[in-house]
């Protein structure tokens, strides 16, 4: 584990009983580390003593992604399911079934997003409850109710595996990146596909949304989307501009218009 400013190695730890760790998730306070493994299990570790506190068993294939959410954990797996766990007991609380291939990522509407979203969509009773979004190798994105495990929406359009997701809850929008070289924007309420970005020449493996507010002559805001692809380029998308900038020897910053088709 490294400190980013400055870049300094803080400590190393050997987490035994695991092999082929595919994903790690650190709690906000830094006290707990969740790992997902090729052995089909997830484990919760104390960063204070490197001891395994909870063992999560139940998946029938390897874990692709895992994340801590307060007192629960979520795992995605190649067994086509997502599972919700009690982090203290290791008990499986819910299984989300519906994908027909590997589940690669999930995104849960978090507390801050929930508060913002309620103001924006208070007239939409359907989205008054917590939901999560998942992306799969079956080329689909699914929206699930957390409490019931029921699939609310299946978003169709990608022709390749969906590898990454970003949820912009206040604007009711979801961004998905795929091996079909595209990023797609969806209306999370209706499931409608809003836009397709096709500038990459490789798989989209990471998405990031940044909201920046500035105040010349009033109040304005824009969303910046940072896209990382396998093509060895970095392309950033500021929805207010329409330019392309070179960032380095083999790095480019591509700017899209948010209203483009």
Reported as a single tens digit per residue, the pLDDT across 93-129 is 999 999 999 999 989 875 334 444 444 444 344 555 6
pLDDT band at 17 (very low <50, low <70, confident <90, very high): low
Architecture of domain 17-97: Beta Barrel (2.40)
Phi, psi of 33 (to 5 degrees): -130, 125
C-alpha span between 248 and 101 (Å, rounded)? 38
Reported as a single tens digit per residue, the pLDDT across 140-191 is 999 999 988 899 899 999 999 999 999 887 778 899 999 999 999 999 888 9
3-state secondary structure of 207: strand
Q: What is the model's pTM?
A: 0.75
Which residue has 């580390």 as its token pair? 33
What residue ranges do the domains of the chain occupy?
A: 17-97
C-alpha span between 236 and 198 (Å, rounded)? 13
Mean pLDDT of 51-63: 96
Q: ∠ CA(212), CA(169), CA(67), 5° rounding?
A: 95
> Mean of the per-residue pLDDT values for the chain?
76
- pLDDT at res. 229: 47
Q: Return the DSSP state at 201.
A: S
| Residue percentage of the chain with pLDDT more than 90 | 48
Residue 136 in tokens: 């799969």
Contacts 24+ apart (CB under 8 A), 2-7: none
Mean pLDDT of 189-205: 90
pLDDT band at 70 (very low <50, low <70, confident <90, very high): confident
């Amino acid at each position: 584990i490294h400190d980013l400013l400055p870049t300094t190695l803080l400590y190393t730890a050997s987490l035994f009983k695991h092999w082929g760790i595919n994903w790690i998730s650190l709690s906000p306070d830094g006290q707990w580390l969740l790992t997902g493994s090729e052995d089909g299990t997830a484990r919760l570790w104390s960063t204070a003593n490197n001891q395994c506190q909870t063992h999560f068993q139940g998946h029938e294939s390897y874990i692709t992604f895992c994340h801590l959410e307060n007192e629960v954990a979520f795992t995605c797996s190649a067994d086509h399911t997502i599972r919700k766990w009690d982090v203290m007991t290791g008990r499986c609380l819910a299984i989300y079934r519906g994908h027909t291939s590997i589940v690669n990522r999930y995104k849960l509407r978090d507390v801050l997003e929930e508060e913002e979203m309620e103001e924006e969509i208070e007239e939409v009773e359907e989205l008054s409850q917590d939901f999560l979004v998942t992306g799969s190798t079956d080329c689909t994105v699914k929206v699930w109710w957390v409490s019931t495990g029921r699939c609310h929406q299946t978003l169709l359009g990608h022709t390749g595996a969906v590898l990454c997701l970003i949820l912009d809850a206040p604007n009711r929008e979801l961004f998905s990146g795929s091996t079909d070289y595209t990023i797609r924007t969806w209306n999370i309420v209706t499931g409608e596909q809003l836009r397709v970005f096709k500038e990459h020449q490789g798989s989209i493996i990471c998405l990031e949304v940044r909201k920046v507010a500035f105040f010349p002559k009033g109040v304005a805001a824009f969303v910046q989307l940072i896209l990382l692809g396998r093509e060895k380029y970095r392309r950033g998308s500021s929805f207010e501009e329409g330019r392309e900038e070179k960032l380095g020897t083999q790095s480019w910053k591509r700017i899209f218009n948010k209203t483009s088709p």
